[in-house]
Structure 1
């Protein structure tokens, strides 16, 4: 014969264990989320730098093409 107090104690212990697991999962996901946000911010900065470099390179190439065309028409 089981005692209702033992059953309640086991249920309470089970709930405490589940709550501990949920807290652990929450903390793990929170840390992962923070890490991903930091990585995303870094990738956004890198993308902006690459876009700036690409734009600068495009401007320089266009300027060279214009000079070559001018030389061609001047020659």
Structure 2
């Protein structure tokens, strides 16, 4: 569990660092997925990433929607 948490925290940190206005949810998600693979993490069953007006209802996969700078 400690290794899983460490990998997740690293991936989330890299997502924060790598975020840029105009990138898609899929591009942002790929940072977490790449980090997970590089560190021997388990398979992600879905590509869940909630942002903007689609945060509810939950369980919507990431999309090619671009983020805008606020």
TM-score of the superposition, structure 1-length normalised? 0.27
Report which structure shows greater RCO (CA 8 Å, sep ≥6): 2
The structure with the greater share of residues assigned to helix is 1
Which of structures 1 and 2 has the bigger CA Rg?
A: 1
TM-score of the superposition, structure 2-length normalised? 0.28
